[in-house]
Amino acid sequence: MSHEITRTVIASIAKLKRISPELVRLDSTFEELDMDSLDGLDLFFELEEVFDLSISDEKARSFRTVGHIVEEIEKLLSPAGDACQSAE
């Protein structure tokens, strides 16, 4: 996984929840991080802006861990992901 994407996602979650980035791991669930649906919306709006991409609501609801978010962003930023993203 891209270290830059991972760092950015972890930093965004840490800032949102006002916790140390060291407490956020790739296998951390949203429940473990005490993230509710509003936190999730805020996070996805920020990540969409930072990475200049769009994450569908359906896809966003399917995420269970920080690692899932990182993987999806990597897919969307890959050349093949660009084609999928523009087709939506």
Q: Which residues are catalytic?
A: 36
CB count in 10 Å sphere of residue 11: 13
Q: What are phi and psi of 75, to 5 degrees?
A: -60, -45
- CB of 12 within 8 A of CB of 50? yes
Residues in the chain: 88
